[in-house]
Amino acid sequence: MPSRGRARSGRVALLLFVVASLVFATEAPAPAFAAGTPVVPLALDRWFVSNLTGAEVAPGGGGTISYTVGNPFTNESISSVVLTLQVYAFNAYPGNATSTVDVASAPVLVTSTDSGLSVNQTLGSLPERGTVSGSVTIESSATTPSGAYAVRTALRFDVAGSAYLLESRGWFTTAQWAEATAGPNGTVALNVSALGVSGVSPETSILVTSSNLTTAIWAVFGASLVLIGLGAWLYFRPPKSRSGVRNAPVEIQAPSALGTSRTSEGD
């Protein structure tokens, strides 16, 4: 039994290493301010919310989701920083059916001041190139169903009087996302201006597993966690970008945390 626990811990560490290894240091100037919701420079999007971890818990157990929020601007501070995390979708096992989180005893997020399916982390101000790390506690009950619970994120902050908003894929309906990612001649391009946001933030998940789940089943959910981690960098990285449009090869997708087959869009 101890060897199984060590193997599972090793798999979790490997998944998180794969996600973390996608981050690369970038130097870039502060954004040019414009009317409406300003768009963050392409080189900076991944740095606002990074090191976002997933968690594996047993029914009745707990865990944590860790994160780092940063200010990648080289000559501007950011203020009124608030990070939101929300459990919004559930992929059940057995059955692999994705739905909104309407199951009884779903895992909840807990901070020092709040608890529930959605919590806000007030982080104050960050100087140029500053970062702050934190975590949110996860609590489940003995009757929490096994499966993957998707967690979407949003980040709000102000820069020199302009309000910025980054949101993850899970905040948008399928129709909204399809319209914002439809490029010319069937290509894929992410137009954050069409989504009404400054950029796209990552998503993660909570994996609830009972002791009788096999290694093969764990691997399936582990693969979905990797996809969620990859969603941390949903901005497709082209050589050029104009007016908030980010181009990408056709085969690259920006998945929701649990895929595209949700029973209720935007929930």
Q: Centre a 10 Å sphere on the Cβ of residue 172 and count the other Cβ atoms it contains.
A: 23
Residue range 181-227, pLDDT digits in tens: 888 887 878 888 889 999 999 999 999 987 655 444 555 555 554 44
Instruction: State the pLDDT at residue 27.
Output: 35
- Going by C-alpha positions, the residue among 217, 200, 216, 209 that lies closest to residue 256 is 200
Residue range 2-58, pLDDT digits in tens: 444 444 444 443 333 323 322 222 333 334 434 468 999 877 888 999 999 999 999
Biggest alpha carbon distance in the chain? 59
Q: Which tokens belong to 124?
A: 């104050």
Highest-scoring range by mean pLDDT, 110-114, 154-158, 177-181 = 154-158
Give the chain's domains with CATH numbers.
Answer: 2-248 (2.60.40.10)
Distances (CA, A) of 239 to 21, 114, 115, 196: 21, 42, 42, 23
Low-confidence winner among 111-120, 152-161, 179-188 (lowest mean pLDDT): 179-188
| Alpha-carbon gap, residue 189 to 235, rounded angstroms | 9
- Going by C-alpha positions, the residue among 155, 152, 179 that lies closest to residue 267 is 152
Residues paired with 164 in a beta bridge: 157
